[in-house]
Amino acid sequence: MPKFIDYYSLLGVPKTAGEGEIKSAYRKLAMKYHPDRNQGNKASEARFKEINEAYEVLSDAKRRAMYDQLGPDGQPRGHRPSPDGGFHQSRQPGGFQYNYQGAGEGQFGDFSDFFKSMFGGAGSGFGGMQEEAGGRSPLDMEAELQLSIEDLVRGGHKQLSFTYRAGRRTETKNINVKLPKGLRDGATIRLRGQGKEAPGGAGDLYLKLRLMPDARFEVDGDDLTTRVEVFPWDAALGAEISVPAPAGAVTVKLPPGSSAGRRLRLAGRGLPRKDDGHGDLYVVISLALPDKLSPQQLELFKKLKDLA
C-alpha cells in the first residue's frame, strides 16, 4: 500500500469536522494556492493538487467513511481488499456489493497512488461504480460522473472509460457521453444499453452528476459568483480588472468609488440553461494591499488618514 496521506491535516481540520468546516477550509486554501494566482510556481501547483484530492475524499460521505476505516498503518479495518485495489462492502446480507473505481483525475493532474489504491485509478471521471438494486434491471448500473464548471459551459461530448466487477472478472467500458444543456449537480443521465451485458440484451447505465469543486466560483442555480481582490487606489479611482469566467478571463471596468463587497453583474456569463440562454456571473469586490508597502506609499496613506 502506498504511503498513507492525512487528508485532515492537508485541509487543517479535525477528524470531527463537519461538511461546512471542510468546505470553508478547502476554499481558503484553494484560493491561496490556485495556479491562476501562482503562475509557474510548481510548489503551489503541487499543493493545490493535494488540497483538491483531500477535498475529493472528505467531501464525499462514502469515500470519507472508507478513508476513516484506515488504521495508523494505512491498512483498512473491517474491510477486505478487493482484487482490483478498491474495497468492497456488502450493502446487506445477500445483497450486491459496491466498489469505488476510476474516481478520475483532478482538473490539474492525476490523483496520488494512495488515492488510486483506495478508490481505483482508471482516469475515467467516474466514482462509486455500483450495481443498481431495487426497481431496475439487475443488468443496470449506476455511476458518479464528475464534471467541471467548464464542462457544463462547453457541453458537447465527453469520452469516458471505466471498469466494474462482473462476477470474478473486471470488465472495461469505453463510452462517449453527450452532455445535454442545463446539467446541474445531482442530475442523472440515462444511457440505454450501456449497462451490463447478458444473452438477449443489456442493461442501462445511470450517470449521476457530481460537480467538481472550483475555488474560483460559487454556484447558485444558473448563476455564478466569483471574488476579485483589488488595490484600494483602483477601487477609489476606478480601473480595468481581470475577472475569471468559465469560458476564459474577461476584462471589466471597475467604477470609481467602489467599496469592498460591491457586486458587479456580468449578464450571460453564468451556466447554460436547459431551454435557452445563460445565467449571470456576479463579481464581488474585496480590497487587498501589497504584501509590503514602500515608505512613499505609507506616507501617502498617512496623509490620506489625516485628510479623512
Encode pLDDT of 234-248 as tens digits: 999 999 999 999 988
Q: Which amino acid is at 251?
A: T
* Per-residue model confidence (pLDDT) at position 152: 92
Q: Is residue 232 part of a domain?
A: yes
Domain match, 195 and 249 both: no
Q: Is residue 186 part of a domain?
A: yes
Domain match, 227 and 187 both: no
Domain match, 192 and 260 both: no
Q: Is residue 1 part of a domain?
A: no
What total number of domains does the chain contain? Answer: 2
* Per-residue model confidence (pLDDT) at position 168: 73
Q: Where a domain ends, among 211, 246, 263?
A: 211
CATH of the domain at 155: 1.10.287.110
Q: Provide the residue-wise pLDDT of the chain in tens; the chain has 308 residues.
A: 578 899 999 999 999 999 889 988 988 888 888 877 788 888 888 888 899 889 888 988 888 888 888 766 556 555 444 444 443 333 322 222 223 333 333 333 457 888 877 765 433 344 434 444 455 777 888 888 888 999 999 888 887 777 777 667 777 778 888 998 888 988 898 988 888 877 778 888 888 888 988 889 999 999 999 999 999 999 999 999 999 999 889 999 999 999 999 999 999 999 999 888 999 999 999 998 888 888 888 888 888 888 87
Cα separations in angstroms, 227 against 169, 215, 218, 230: 49, 10, 9, 10
Domain match, 92 and 183 both: yes
Q: Give 171-186 pLDDT, tens digit per residue.
A: 777 888 899 888 898 8
Q: Is residue 65 part of a domain?
A: yes
* Per-residue model confidence (pLDDT) at position 75: 61
Domain match, 148 and 58 both: yes
- Cell 485495489 belongs to which residue? 85
Give the structural domain span for 237.
Answer: 218-307
Q: Is residue 83 part of a domain?
A: yes
Q: Is residue 116 part of a domain?
A: yes
CATH of the domain at 225: 2.60.260.20
Domain match, 195 and 247 both: no
* Angle (CA) 211 4 105, round 5°: 30
Q: Which amino acid is at 57?
A: V
Spatial separation of the C-alpha atoms in residues 234 and 256, rounded to whole Å? 8
Domain match, 172 and 263 both: no
- Cell 471574488 belongs to which residue? 227
* Per-residue model confidence (pLDDT) at position 76: 57
Domain match, 181 and 272 both: no
Domain match, 270 and 202 both: no
Q: Is residue 2 part of a domain?
A: no
Q: Where a domain ends, among 186, 211, 236?
A: 211
Cα dihedral angle (118, 124, 129, 132), rounded to 10 degrees? 180
Q: Residue 56: which of 1, 98, 16, 116 has the closest Cα? A: 116
Q: Report the side by side order of strands in the sheet with 188-191.
A: 80-81, 87-90, 97-98, 126-131, 141-147, 205-211, 188-191
Domain match, 120 and 207 both: yes
* Per-residue model confidence (pLDDT) at position 33: 86
* Per-residue model confidence (pLDDT) at position 80: 47
* Per-residue model confidence (pLDDT) at position 252: 95
Q: Where a domain ends, among 161, 194, 211?
A: 211
Domain match, 262 and 228 both: yes
Domain match, 70 and 202 both: yes
Q: Is residue 248 part of a domain?
A: yes
